[in-house]
């Protein structure tokens, strides 16, 4: 406990159990300094820690017991690994003497988590605690952040040591958080940028993780370079910034994807060329010289071969490039996005936001909520249509404003992550999820009830697993194999948890419902019955060239 | 892409579980490890892994980077046979009776410049250190006389042809950087 306090931990998400009881007993005496949030399932603890970490930038901590407690966090650990989220999972483990004997609730957690964590370590004696905890925080939070697992044997929890003192770890000789930047790479990158007629910047979450949003803005403004953002990088540049041309990828904006395959210099900052961003790699940005700024050398050339790799923290490298490069104007190139923006607006966005009559559409709900919060809120999403639609239509004015499961695409992520987010910020937290994802971690409504965590839950209910249904319609001849969803009465469920709730079926009640939700002091559940067979458009079919987006289906 | 036999040399902290992490990187990319040798290195507390695998350069470079990314791994590099000096050792257990009955067997051993390291009334052991081809050639030669009871080959060990142990320079460099950054704070 003192090691955790020494690292500045004030919030823990957890669930007690046999092998972690000594730690929980100690926690009982520290509740004045450490707030413990009792979740209803360990998966919820891991996702809540992620939500917390993503909004405030601190390391999210979760505390669980051995065996099933530990394995229940696996999805969250893998998710945090994919999305570079700094969390620490402290799991109980059976005593050293019975390790390897299939003791009650024993599981080889280090073995299981090694491939899905940044670092995984078993603490077998009390002498190890201060060192391991300090090292865990250092590793989780530095360089490219990621999850760390501490497997804490019961004997190490109860042993007493003399002269306890928290340790500080700021150097591990086998771990280089920030690779050195080759000065020559900066020179080469500058040359490419200066000579570019049609530069295009890809903005990833690395910009937020590196706290480089100001540096990014200065960089793109000096070079007058248009940008596209990845899903996780959406709030790294304000949505209304004139150079922000929208989202990249499968359900991104038409202009950004088309222009990716037209630009002459592609500058990727803190992103990893995920297949959902690139589509078919064989046709991806082949015409362009590619510059890749990243802190993680394994990302260089992993998916897209680059011409210049600028390694290092983008806060520093962007700053250096901005100084080295010359100011530029690319008006004609930037204006060339406009016809595509117009086309997308006329053929997709206008219909989605102003349908006039008929069932409520998902996009108009998202847009209305975003406007009602003056685009100041934090967006948390689950996974699927609710995620893509809200990523498309929610607008951002501040950084660290989007919490979503990108790489893993974890259904059930949204509700616990939103709970975690409310403990990391004072801003309004709006959660969009579907009727499928809500039921995957629905037990966390109990946590919301107990903590009065002010999550604004918007359920876009279409009685389908909507995203899979959309794919079935497009690629599987409308064979809706197990995607229709039989739903309970969510308003009644919310009432059982004492969470104020309302169902909106009619468009005319939508604004009032949203106002009531936002005006409510604490949590609120707004269920919106949306069009059953609504589609997220535009869309690049999986494996297709990224510039070949479908505007209708 | 054409496949080549690459030799990876990996240095890691001497902590349990590192081998697991290294082999997992190969498994994920569906590359078989041909041979593996793990032993203490010349640097205190550091283990040296010599791994060979058939792969193309693109894949092996990604594997190498992903291994180096593991927290406990100090350094990972890959080489082709041109860049390293290579040796393997093999032991061949032969029935002594066979040797006495067929003089060609000891002739094969001499032709391959191998050594008899143990002789007793029931069996004898031949040792051969050399390149992979030489070891296989001796095995094939002995097999003709149907006398090999057991055969074992070590993993490859390799030394780079460069002049310095790159790890020591790397560690010294990291240490110096760290101390310098402390001073500048």
3-state class (DSSP) for residue A531: coil
Chain B hits for A176, CB-CB cut-off 8 Å, are 174
CA distance linking residue A545 with residue A280, whole number of Å? 5
Q: Confirm if A36 and A62 have CB atoms less than 8 A apart.
A: no
Which residue's structure tokens are 């040792």? B127
Helix (H) or strand (E) holding A519: helix A510-519
CATH 3.40.50.1220 location in chain A: 183-338
Does A119 lie at the interface with B, CB-CB under 8 angstroms?
A: yes
pLDDT score of B168: 82
Residues of chain A above pLDDT 90, percent = 96
The answer to whether the B4-79 and B85-154 domains have the same CATH topology is yes
CA distance linking residue A11 with residue A138, whole number of Å? 18
Task: Give the pairing of strands B84-95 and A35-38.
Answer: unpaired
pLDDT at B164 over 80: no
- Span A333-352, average pLDDT: 97
3-state secondary structure A64-125: ECCCHHHHCCHHHHHHHHHCCCCEEEEEEECCHHHCCCCCCCCCCHHHHHHHHCCEEEEECC
Q: How far apart are the first and last CA of chain A?
A: 56
Give the C-alpha distances (Å, rounded to integers) separating B20 from A2, A114, A150, A168, A174. Answer: 32, 9, 18, 28, 17
pLDDT score of A320: 98
pLDDT tens digits, residue range A190-227?
Answer: 999 999 999 999 999 999 999 999 999 999 999 999 99
pLDDT score of A395: 98
- Span A109-126, average pLDDT: 96
- Span B3-11, average pLDDT: 95
pLDDT tens digits, residue range A267-290?
Answer: 999 999 999 999 999 999 999 999
Considering only the top CATH level, what class is B85-154? alpha beta
Indicate the range of A314-323, B125-134, B159-168 predicted with least confidence: B159-168
Q: Which residues contact A503 (CB under 8 A, 6 or more apart)?
A: A490, A491, A527, A528, A529
pLDDT score of A166: 86
CA distance linking residue A13 with residue A184, whole number of Å? 45
pLDDT tens digits, residue range B52-101?
Answer: 999 999 999 999 999 999 999 999 999 999 999 999 999 999 999 999 99
Here the ipTM equals 0.90
Q: Confirm if A55 and A400 have CB atoms less than 8 A apart.
A: yes
Residues of chain A above pLDDT 70, percent = 100
Q: Assign domain A354-529 to its CATH architecture.
A: 3-Layer(aba) Sandwich (3.40)
pLDDT score of B1: 67
B residues 11-50 lying closer than 8 A (beta carbon) to A: 12-13, 17, 20-21, 24, 28
Chain B hits for A171, CB-CB cut-off 8 Å, are 178
Helix (H) or strand (E) holding A229: strand A227-229
Q: Confirm if A65 and A91 have CB atoms less than 8 A apart.
A: yes
The 8-class DSSP code of residue B171 comes to H
Kindly determine whether residue B69 and residue A298, on different chains, have CB atoms separated by under 8 Å.
Answer: yes
Of the options 3.40.50.620, 3.30.70.260, 3.30.70.600, 3.90.1310.10, the CATH number for the domain spanning B4-79: 3.30.70.260
pLDDT at B115 over 70: yes
pLDDT tens digits, residue range A32-88?
Answer: 999 999 999 999 999 999 999 999 999 999 999 999 999 999 999 999 999 999 999
Q: Confirm if A252 and A415 have CB atoms less than 8 A apart.
A: no
pLDDT at A507 over 90: yes
Q: Note the CATH number of domain A2-158.
A: 3.40.50.970
pLDDT averaged over every residue in chain A = 96
CA distance linking residue A374 with residue A351, whole number of Å? 22
pLDDT score of B165: 65
Q: Place A1 in a pLDDT band, splitting at 50, 70 and 90.
A: low
Q: Place B185 in a pLDDT band, splitting at 50, 70 and 90.
A: low
DSSP H helices in A72-153:
74-82, 109-113, 129-141
Does B175 lie at the interface with A, CB-CB under 8 angstroms?
A: yes
Q: Confirm if A310 and A324 have CB atoms less than 8 A apart.
A: no
pLDDT at A543 over 70: yes
Q: Domains of chain B: which residue ranges?
A: 4-79, 85-154
pLDDT score of B184: 75
CA distance linking residue B9 with residue B107, whole number of Å? 37
Positive or negative, the Cα torsion across B170, B176, B179, B181? Answer: negative
Q: In this complex, how many residue pairs, one in chain A and one in chain B, have their CB atoms less than 8 Å apart?
A: 39
Q: How far apart are the first and last CA of chain B?
A: 49
Q: Place A499 in a pLDDT band, splitting at 50, 70 and 90.
A: very high
Q: Assign domain A183-338 to its CATH architecture.
A: 3-Layer(aba) Sandwich (3.40)
Q: Nearest 5 degrees, angle CA A408-CA A16-CA A105?
A: 80
pLDDT at A345 over 90: yes
Look at residues A521, A524, A534 and name the one whose alpha carbon lies nearest to residue A463: A534
Q: Considering CB atoms only, which of B24, B71, B175 is closest to A175?
A: B71
Q: Place A158 in a pLDDT band, splitting at 50, 70 and 90.
A: very high
Which residue's structure tokens are 């957690």? A109
pLDDT averaged over every residue in chain B = 92
Q: Considering CB atoms only, which of A114, A119, A172 is closest to B24?
A: A114
Q: Which residues contact A552 (CB under 8 A, 6 or more apart)?
A: A347, A537
Q: Place A165 in a pLDDT band, splitting at 50, 70 and 90.
A: confident
CA distance linking residue B62 with residue B6, whole number of Å? 13
CATH 3.40.50.970 location in chain A: 2-158, 354-529
Token couple for B156: 């490859």
């Amino acid at each position: 406990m003192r090691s955790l306090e020494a690292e500045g931990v004030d919030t823990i998400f957890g669930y007690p159990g046999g092998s972690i009881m000594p730690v929980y007993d100690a926690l009982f005496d520290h509740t004045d300094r450490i707030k413990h949030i009792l979740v209803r399932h360990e998966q919820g603890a891991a996702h809540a820690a992620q939500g917390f970490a993503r909004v405030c930038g601190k390391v999210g901590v979760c505390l669980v017991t051995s065996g099933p407690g530990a394995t229940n966090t696996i999805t969250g650990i893998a998710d945090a690994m994919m999305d570079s989220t700094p969390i620490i999972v402290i799991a109980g483990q059976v005593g050293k003497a019975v390790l390897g004997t299939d003791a009650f609730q024993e599981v080889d957690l280090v073995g299981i988590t090694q491939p899905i964590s940044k670092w995984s370590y078993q603490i077998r004696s009390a002498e190890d605690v201060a060192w391991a905890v300090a090292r865990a925080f250092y590793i989780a939070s530095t360089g490219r952040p990621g999850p760390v697992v501490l497997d804490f044997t019961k004997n190490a929890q109860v042993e007493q040591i003399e002269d306890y003192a928290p340790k500080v770890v700021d150097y591990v000789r086998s771990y280089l958080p920030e690779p050195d930047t080759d000065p020559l790479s900066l020179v080469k990158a500058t040359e490419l940028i200066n000579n570019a007629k049609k530069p295009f910047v890809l903005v990833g979450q690395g910009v937020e993780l590196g706290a480089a949003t100001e540096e990014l803005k200065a960089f793109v403004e000096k070079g007058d370079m248009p940008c596209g953002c990845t899903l996780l990088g959406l709030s790294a540049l304000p949505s209304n910034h004139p150079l922000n041309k929208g989202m990249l990828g499968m359900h991104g904006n038409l202009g950004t994807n088309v222009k990716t395959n037209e630009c002459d210099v592609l500058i990727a900052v803190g992103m990893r060329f995920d297949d959902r961003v690139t589509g078919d790699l064989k046709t991806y940005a082949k015409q362009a010289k590619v510059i890749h700024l990243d802190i993680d050398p394994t990302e260089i050339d992993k998916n897209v071969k680059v011409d210049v790799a600028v390694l290092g923290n983008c806060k520093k490298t962007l700053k250096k490039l901005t100084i080295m490069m010359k100011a530029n104007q690319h008006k004609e190139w930037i204006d060339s996005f406009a016809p595509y923006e117009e086309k997308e607006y006329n053929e997709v966005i206008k219909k989605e936001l102003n349908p006039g009559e008929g069932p409520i559409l998902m996009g108009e709900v998202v847009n209305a909520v975003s406007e009602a919060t003056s685009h100041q809120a934090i967006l948390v999403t689950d996974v699927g249509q609710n995620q893509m639609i809200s990523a498309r239509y929610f607008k951002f004015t501040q950084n660290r404003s989007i919490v979503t499961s990108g790489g893993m695409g974890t259904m059930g992520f949204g509700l616990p992550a939103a709970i975690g987010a409310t403990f990391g910020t004072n801003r309004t937290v709006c959660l969009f999820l579907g009727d499928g994802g809500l039921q995957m971690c629905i037990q966390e409504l109990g946590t919301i009830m107990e903590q009065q965590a002010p999550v604004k839950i918007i359920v876009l209910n279409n009685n389908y697993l909507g995203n899979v249904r959309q794919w079935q319609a497009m690629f599987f001849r409308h064979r809706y194999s197990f995607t229709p969803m039989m739903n309970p009465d969510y308003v009644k469920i919310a009432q059982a948890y004492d969470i104020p709730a309302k169902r909106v079926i009619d468009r005319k009640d939508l604004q009032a419902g949203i106002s009531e939700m936002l005006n409510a002091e604490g949590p609120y559940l707004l269920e919106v019955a949306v069009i059953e067979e609504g589609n997220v458009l535009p869309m690049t079919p999986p494996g297709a060239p990224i510039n070949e987006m479908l505007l209708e289906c | 892409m054409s496949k080549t036999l690459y030799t990876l040399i990996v240095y890691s902290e001497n902590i349990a579980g590192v081998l697991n992490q290294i082999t997992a990187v190969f498994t994920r990319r569906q590359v078989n490890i041909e041979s593996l040798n793990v032993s203490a290195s010349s640097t205190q507390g550091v283990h040296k892994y010599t791994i060979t695998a058939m792969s193309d350069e693109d894949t092996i470079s990604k594997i190498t980077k992903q291994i180096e990314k593991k927290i406990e791994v100090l350094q990972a590099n890959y080489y082709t046979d041109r860049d390293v000096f290579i040796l393997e050792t093999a032991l061949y257990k032969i029935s002594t009776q066979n040797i006495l009955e067929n003089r060609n067997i000891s002739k094969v051993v001499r032709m391959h410049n191998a050594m008899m390291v143990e002789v007793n009334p029931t069996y004898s052991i031949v040792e051969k250190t050399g390149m992979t081809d030489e070891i296989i050639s001796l095995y094939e030669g002995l097999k003709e006389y149907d006398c090999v009871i057991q055969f074992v080959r070590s993993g490859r060990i390799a030394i780079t042809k460069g002049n310095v142990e790159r790890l020591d320079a790397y560690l010294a460099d990291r240490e110096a950087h760290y101390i310098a950054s402390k001073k500048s704070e």
